[in-house]
Amino acid sequence: MEVRPYNLAMHTDCLVIEGLAGKKSLKGTVQINGAKNAVLKAMAASVLFSDEMVIANAPDTEDVKKLAHLLRLAGAEVAVDAAKKEIRINASTITSTDLDHETTKAMRGSVMLTGPLLARFGKVSFNVPGGCVIGARPIDLYVDAYKKLGAKVSVSGDHYSIDGALSGAEVFFALQTVGGTETMMMAAVLAKGMTVLKNCAMEPEIVSLAEFLVQCGAKISGIGTPTMTIYGGGLLKAGGKKYHTIPDRIEAGSFLLLGALCADDLLIEQCNPLHLESVTSALRNAGVALMIGKDSIHIKGNVKTKWADVSSFSVRTHEYPGFPTDLQPQMVAFLTHTTGEGIMFETIFEGRFKYVQDLVRMGAEITEMNPREVLVRGFGGEAVSGNTAGGQKMLLALGADEPLRAHDIRAGFAIVMAALAAKGTSVIQNAYYIDRGYERLEERLAALGATIRREK
Ligand code: EPZ
């Protein structure tokens, strides 16, 4: 079947943003899409099914397009209907388990496909991206688990080939790896016998996928706890049941922090506030007024909240339900405006502060204590030398001749927040990264009153 080429080249789009000069003037409603970090795993899980698997409420992000491309290249039938937010995958037509090298190198998330492919077809080969801007991101925990499940792993450079019939085993993850937990859970669904996975990650995306697999015949217990037990069996059957992608808690948390920084009245709808308690409780403790509904979070009358009354605080990123590493840059951007000092401690990734240099260039007072810790001195109500702009303490845009960069998806969003809060016009390059995690961001921000446009 002819597979249309997918343009993997890095796009050169940039975003041009007029800052609000410290005013919290954004207003309006934003709807949250299905979670990027749920839909990718559900797409990988389609390989466990004998019949067509349908994913509903799917976001239309770059990574979804890339993974669909990768599955098509392997021979699966994949139909993506962005308008209906639906993806239909029939993996029974897969003929190759040698994953396209270009695509797997361009998207680390593809490594999750290896579990279902190995479990179903007895072999898989792929190239691993050398790591990305936030850290080395090795896959040693996957290799260790595959070996325990009875597979043979051979590596040459960044090329891995793994084969063998999988049989159940006990695996203790040295780190609570999200991808590792999902990949081995999926592999164990088809492995022979019982698999016990220990020190599992418990992210909501994992729980929602596991529950769907159980509805389709998988035998998984301990879902949402550190220990999962899986009894392997035959291929699963969707039988018309659809996987409904859960709301993207990272997108919701990103807009929540952007709202707390730049909005007077922002209603965030179609989200699950229970997945964001680490964020809402921190903001409330600091003095930000939030109304929390069943599937909404409302920042209202925020302009009355003076920065002098929003006290700084420290945050330590932690596996779920702790504060998510994927909201770390956005929280630091928020902390630059609070009153006092706060420390951000990044426990998950070793290289996730590259964006700080851009915030410092804009006038933020952030000191890197070590690769995992930064101290943020907020402008707050106090006079901070060098940042005065008409008496108001704020970030200062660097203008078109000193473009900012989106280092990764989440750092890109943090830079957008800073550019919105700043005085002057900012240009942010690598908007492609932002597109990987946030659909049509400039349209949604413009609808809230931001002056923002995309340029090639
Ligand atoms: C998932 O990545 C998310 N990606 C990441 O979101 C998220 O930051 C991360 O989980 C942590 O929450 C997707 O779900 C597609 P890990 P994953 O395995 O599964 C180390 C975003 O912006 N590790 O939990 O790759 C690893 O280096 C992205 O949406 C090993 O050392 O994360 C990291 O330091 C960014 N060896 C830590 O564990 C391994 O074999 C957590 O990684 C595997 C992981």
Q: Is 179 in the pocket of ligand 1 (CB under 6 A)?
A: yes
Q: Is 140 in the pocket of ligand 1 (CB under 6 A)?
A: yes
pLDDT of residue 386: 46
Structure confidence at residue 107 (pLDDT): 83
Task: Say yes or no: CB of residue 109 within 6 Å of ligand 1.
Answer: yes
The CB density around residue 198, as the number of other CB atoms within 10 Å, is: 13
Greatest Cα-to-Cα distance within the chain, rounded to the nearest angstrom: 70
CB of 139 within 6 A of ligand 1: the answer is yes
Gap between the Cα atoms of 130 and 291, Å rounded: 43
Q: Which residue CA neighbors atom 13 of ligand 1 most closely?
A: 37
Bridge partners for 17 per DSSP = 426, 452
- Give the pLDDT score at 299: 98
pLDDT, residue 320, reads 98
Q: How far is the CA of 444 from the centre of ligand 1 (A)?
A: 28
Scanning 273-327, the segments in alpha helix (DSSP H) are 277-286
State pTM to two decimals.
0.95
Q: Which residues of the chain are modeled with pLDDT < 50?
A: 383-391
How far is 324 from 237, CA to CA, in rounded Å? 33
Q: Residue 381: its pLDDT value, please?
A: 58
* Residue in 356, 390, 386 with CA at minimum distance from that of residue 373: 356
- Using alpha carbons only, what angle is made at residue 230 by residues 169 and 204, rounded to the nearest 5 degrees? 120
For 157-186, what is each residue's pLDDT tens digit? 889 999 999 999 999 999 999 999 999 999
Q: Which pair of tokens denotes residue 338? A: 């609070």
Asked if residue 349 has its Cβ within 6 Å of ligand 1, the reply is: yes
Strand partners for 311 = 339
Amino acid 436: pLDDT: 86
What is the number of the ligand 1 atom nearest to the C-alpha of 135? 27
Ligand 1: nearest atom to the Cα of 178: 24
**Which residues contact residue 385 at a Cβ distance below 8 angstroms, ignoring those fewer than 6 apart?**
none
- Find out whether the beta carbon of 180 lies less than 6 Å from any atom of ligand 1: yes
How would you classify residue 301: left for phi > 0, otherwise alpha for psi between -120 and 50, otherwise beta?
A: left
Question: Which one from 132, 216, 262, 271 is the annotated catalytic residue?
Answer: 132
Distance CA 178, CA 134 (A): 16
14 is catalytic: no
Give yes or no for a cis peptide into 116 (omega within 30° of 0): no
- Alpha-helical (H) ranges within 164-248 are 178-190, 204-215
Helices (H), 100-222: 101-106, 114-121, 140-148, 178-190, 204-215
Q: Whose CA is nearest to atom 19 of ligand 1?
A: 179
Select from 434, 441, 371 the least CA-distant residue to 408.
434
Residue 33: CB atoms within 10 A of its CB come to 24
3-state secondary structure of 286: helix
Pocket of ligand 1, candidates 326, 330, 352, 436: which has the most ligand atoms within 8 Å of its Cβ, to mutate?
Answer: 326
